[in-house]
Chains A and B, each alone.
Chain A
Amino acid sequence: MTDDTEEQLAAFLDGAMDDESAAAFEVRLSADPELAARAELWLANDRRIAAAFAPLAEYPISPELLARMGLMQEDAAEVRAPVAANDNPPWWRRYALPLGGAVAASLVAVLSLPRGGGEPQRDLSFALETGRSLEAVRLADGSTVTPTLTVKAADGRWCREYRQQAAVGLACRDGGNWKVEGTGAGAGPADGSEIGVASGADSASLAGAFARIGASDPLGIKEEGDLIARGWQER
């Protein structure tokens, strides 16, 4: 891979390409699995780092620290991040524009998520209902589903991203059933079993679905575990 490709990939991921270049790069991505895998990996790394630092802008700044910096306010109140100071787009929205379009659409056509048989869908629901993120759940047909993260939709439903074979999906819990909101092809080898990446690595192709449901930031593992233990009921 040449340096130029990496720069183009960076610009593509950050939405810094003009429409024409982005369209050309999407064609390239869909024809080059290795490049697509790299795109997914870079996105996952970005997301991981951004998520790790995100809370730092939420911590209040104490009156003592303000005073030390010569910024004492008259009312001496703590400075909390105002809403406007935390106006970065949520993690999924940053990626919705560049990757939510043609690539995702073309990948959906080849997804291998079982549908219509009744049984597999119920098993998928079972995996999403009971499995913790990043732990594979074996289905009746011998295949596995690995939930990768949990978010809350704007309408209050709990939703999970998951990996199933070479596909990734986003499903939301609706009255005890899990309804698939979107699917896409994952990165990496076709059987998916060798992928050892950080959580939610493949969500780029699901960006459109994440945007549509209005996803919150992902839950922490502890919070998610408690939620599963409570049968997805709010505390």
Chain B
Amino acid sequence: MPDGSAKARALQQAIIAALPKLRRFCHAMAASPADGDDLMQATVEKALVHGDQFREGSRADSWMYRIAQNLHIDKVRSTRRRGTVVPVEDAFDLVGDDGRATTESRSDLAAAQRALETVPDDQRAAFVLVVVEGLSYKEAAETLGVPIGTIMSRIARARGRIEQALKGDAGTIQ
């Protein structure tokens, strides 16, 4: 195809543009920052291989969220058999402008991640897409391939669990 490489370049650009948000989604889904970056990398690899599935004009971010979610579910299933645990407190090796600010946001992040860990994966994905990534129910439903009503009930249950998890953990500031 004469326009094959132009198409590949367009796909790369779309993927690169979506990376920052994809990384956030992956970190919210994974149990640790390292797992989050691994998930992001695996998602990008798969997106590049299956670039023909990406419909031009559609949202690259939604497409990649979906790939990431599927990879994550696969990984969780296989990890359950092997069993590895990486503590959330293992610092993000992402460097902020200010050491203290990084530490503060890291503890906020650790608390948020602990709360999310109590939420089952399918509920967590719905919650993160809507609350963290700002998707509508309709977009989240299309991304995850489920009806809107399912998104609604998953988010409701996720919020119930998060409510329990954050109870007694009254603030981020001590």
Query: Which chain A residues have a beta carbon within 8 Å of chain B's beta carbons?
Result: 3, 6-7, 9-11, 14-16, 38, 41-42, 45-46, 48-59, 61, 65-66, 68-71, 73, 79-82, 84-89, 94, 133-134, 196-199, 220-223
Contact = CB atoms under 8 A, between A and B. Distances in A.
Given A52-B108, A221-B104, A42 B20 contact: no
12 contacts: A3-B153, A11-B137, A16-B137, A49-B112, A49-B116, A53-B24, A54-B132, A55-B105, A56-B109, A57-B24, A65-B37, A198-B172
Contact of B18 (A6, A54, A55, A85): A85
A53 B131 CA distance: 10
B112 A46 contact: no
Contacts of A10: 152, 155-156, 159
A98 B27 CA distance: 29
B163 interface: yes
Interface string B77-117: 00000000000000000101000110011001101110110
Given A41-B163, A198-B170, A199-B171, A52 B111 contact: yes
A73 to B, nearest CB: 7
A184 B80 CA distance: 48
A50 B152 CA distance: 18
Interface in B8-36: 12, 15-21, 23-24, 27-28
Contacts of B18: 85
Given A57-B20, A222-B100, A70 B130 contact: no
Interface string B140-174: 00000000100011011101101100100011110
Given A45-B159, A52-B111, A57 B130 contact: no
Given A50-B131, A85-B18, A88-B133, A45 B153 contact: no
B152 A197 contact: no
Interface-centre pick from A54, A65, A71 (highest chain B CB count, 10 A) = A71
Contact of B16 (A14, A73, A86, A221): A73
Contacts of A88: 133-134
A83 to B, nearest CB: 11
Measured as residues with beta carbon below 8 angstroms from the partner, the interface class of chain B is: 35 or more
Contacts of A221: 104, 173
Interface of B: 12, 15-21, 23-24, 27-28, 37, 40-41, 44-45, 48, 61, 94, 96, 100-101, 104-105, 108-109, 111-113, 115-116, 128, 130-134, 136-137, 148, 152-153, 155-157, 159-160, 162-163, 166, 170-173
Given A10-B156, A45-B162, A57 B171 contact: no
Contacts of B104: 220-222
B159 A46 contact: yes
A1 to B, nearest CB: 9
Contacts of B137: 11, 14, 16
Contact of B172 (A54, A58, A71, A199): A199
A61 B105 contact: no
A69 B20 CA distance: 14
A6 B170 contact: no
A221 B172 CA distance: 10
B170 A197 contact: yes
Contacts of B108: 48, 51-52
